[in-house]
C-alpha cells in the first residue's frame, strides 16, 4: 500500500467515509486500501444505464463489497438522457445521487479515485485550453460539492501502482472501452503523453511536481481572495467600489470576481478565464450583463453582483435606491 496514501488518510481516521466505486481499477483499489486500513468505508456505485455492461458492473461491485463485508449502495440514473453533453450530465447526476446520500446519512467525506495520471491529464487538457492558474493547478485533494466534502486521496499515486496492487492480489476490476477511445481528448493525451518524456525529457514526476507547486500558489491566492470576498458579500449580494476591484493584482482581480460570481450564482465551478477577462473589460465603465447565473452591474464607481433575475438597484446607507 502506498505510504503517501496512508499518511493522507490518517487525517480521516474515525470519520464516516463513503467511496465512489465504478468498478474500475482505480476505485476498486481505493476501496480495498480503505478497507485494509480498517476505515470501514461505505461503497457507492451509480449505474448510469448507458452501456450494455452497466448492470454487470453494478453486480460486480456489490459482490466485491459483500465478499469483504463492506456496506454497498447502488443508485440508478433513470429518466430521459440528454442528446448532447451526455458525459457532463452523467457526472452531474452521479455526484447528486452520491452527495444526497452523504448528507442524508451524515457522511463526513466522499472519496473519489482520481489519481496522479488523471491529475497530469487534467493539467494538459487545461493547458490546451489556455487556462489560468486555477485550471493549471488541476484537481484539489479536498473540495466541497453540494455541501459534501469531496476527498481525492490518490492524487500522488500512479495508476500503474494501483493496477499492480490489484493484479498481485488477484483483485478483479472492470475495464471501460471508453478509456481507450481516441475520439476523447483525455484518451489522446493518455496515449501520447509519453512523448513529453521521450522527446523532451519532461517526466511525469516533474509535471506532477509543477502541479503541486501551482496548487500551493492557488491556495495562497484564494486565502487572500476569501478575505476580500468576506468584506463585500452580504448573503447572495455583493457591492463594492471599482477601486476595490481594479486596485488588485490581475490574478487576484480575476479570482475575486470569479469567486463572487460562483458563490452568488450557485455554480460548482467559476466561469472560464476568457469569460472573466471579458467581464473585467465590461466593468471598465458603466455596464450590465449576466454571467454564471448572476447579473453584474456597474454604475458610476459602484459595482453590484446579484443572482440573475434579482433587482439590480443600488442602495445607499439610508435605504434610498438609485436606478
Domains delineated in the chain: 3-200 (3.40.50.620), 233-322 (3.30.465)
* Res 318: pLDDT: 41
* Res 256: pLDDT: 95
For the record, the C-alpha cell of 54 comes out as 452497466
* Res 102: pLDDT: 97
Is 222:255 a contact under the CB 8 Å cutoff?
yes
Give, in degrees to the nearest 5, the angle at Cα 231 between 227 and 237: 120
* Res 50: pLDDT: 79
Q: Environment class of residue 198 by beta-carbon count within 10 Å: exposed (0-12), middle (13-18) or buried (19+)?
A: exposed
For the record, the C-alpha cell of 267 comes out as 455554480
What Cα–Cα distance (Å) separates residue 257 from each residue in 78, 102, 198, 226, 240? 37, 31, 41, 11, 11
Please count the residues of the chain. 323
- H helix and E strand count, the chain: 13, 12
Beta pairing partners, 148? 145
Contacts of 80 (CB under 8 A, 6+ apart): none
* Res 323: pLDDT: 57
Which tens digit of pLDDT belongs to each residue from 88-131? 888 999 999 999 999 999 999 999 999 999 999 999 999 998 88
Chain-centroid distance of CA 282 in Å reads 28
* Res 133: pLDDT: 85
The single-letter DSSP state of residue 203 is -
Is 258:267 a contact under the CB 8 Å cutoff?
no
The single-letter DSSP state of residue 178 is G
The single-letter DSSP state of residue 180 is G
| Largest interatomic CA distance in the chain | 72
What Cα–Cα distance (Å) separates residue 191 from each residue in 121, 179, 185? 10, 10, 10
Output the pTM of the full model.
0.80
Residue spans of the chain under pLDDT 50: 316-321
- Which ranges of 105-240 would DSSP assign to H, the alpha helix? 116-128, 133-136, 159-168, 185-192, 194-200, 204-232
* Res 104: pLDDT: 96
For the record, the C-alpha cell of 116 comes out as 496522479
Q: Environment class of residue 16 by beta-carbon count within 10 Å: exposed (0-12), middle (13-18) or buried (19+)?
A: middle
- The separation between the first and the last C-alpha atoms of the chain, rounded to the nearest angstrom, is 63
Contacts of 301 (CB under 8 A, 6+ apart): 241, 242, 243
Dihedral sign (CA 139, 145, 147, 150): negative
* Res 317: pLDDT: 46
Amino acid at each position: 500500500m502506498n505510504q503517501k496514501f496512508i499518511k493522507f488518510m490518517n487525517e480521516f481516521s474515525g470519520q464516516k467515509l463513503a467511496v465512489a466505486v465504478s468498478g474500475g481499477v482505480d476505485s476498486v483499489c481505493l476501496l480495498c486500501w480503505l478497507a485494509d486500513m480498517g476505515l470501514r468505508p461505505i461503497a457507492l456505485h451509480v449505474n448510469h444505464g448507458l452501456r450494455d455492461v452497466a448492470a454487470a458492473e453494478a453486480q460486480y461491485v456489490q459482490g466485491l463489497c459483500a465478499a469483504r463485508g463492506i456496506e454497498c449502495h447502488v443508485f440508478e440514473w433513470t429518466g430521459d438522457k440528454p442528446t448532447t453533453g451526455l458525459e457532463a450530465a452523467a457526472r452531474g447526476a452521479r455526484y447528486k445521487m452520491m452527495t444526497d446520500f452523504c448528507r442524508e446519512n451524515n457522511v463526513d467525506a466522499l472519496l473519489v479515485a482520481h489519481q496522479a495520471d488523471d491529475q497530469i491529464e487534467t493539467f494538459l487538457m487545461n493547458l490546451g485550453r489556455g487556462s489560468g492558474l486555477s485550471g493549471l493547478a488541476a484537481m484539489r485533494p479536498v473540495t466541497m460539492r453540494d455541501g459534501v466534502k469531496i476527498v481525492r486521496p490518490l492524487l500522488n499515486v500512479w495508476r500503474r501502482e494501483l493496477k499492480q496492487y490489484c493484479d498481485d492480489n488477484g483483485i478483479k476490476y472492470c475495464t471501460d472501452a471508453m478509456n481507450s477511445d481516441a475520439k476523447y481528448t483525455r484518451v489522446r493525451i493518455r496515449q501520447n503523453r509519453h512523448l513529453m518524456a521521450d522527446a523532451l525529457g519532461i517526466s511525469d514526476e516533474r509535471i506532477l511536481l509543477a502541479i503541486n507547486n501551482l496548487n500551493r500558489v492557488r491556495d495562497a491566492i484564494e486565502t487572500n481572495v476569501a478575505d476580500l470576498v468576506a468584506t463585500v458579500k452580504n448573503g447572495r449580494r455583493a457591492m463594492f467600489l471599482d477601486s476595490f476591484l481594479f486596485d488588485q493584482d490581475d490574478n487576484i482581480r480575476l479570482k475575486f470576481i470569479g469567486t463572487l460570481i460562483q458563490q452568488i450564482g450557485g455554480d460548482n465551478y467559476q466561469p472560464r478565464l476568457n469569460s472573466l477577462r471579458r467581464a473585467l473589460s465590461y466593468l471598465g465603465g458603466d455596464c450590465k450583463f449576466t454571467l454564471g447565473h448572476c447579473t453584474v452591474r456597474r454604475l458610476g464607481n459602484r459595482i453590484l453582483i446579484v443572482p440573475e433575475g434579482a433587482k439590480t438597484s443600488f442602495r445607499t446607507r439610508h435605504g434610498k435606491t438609485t436606478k
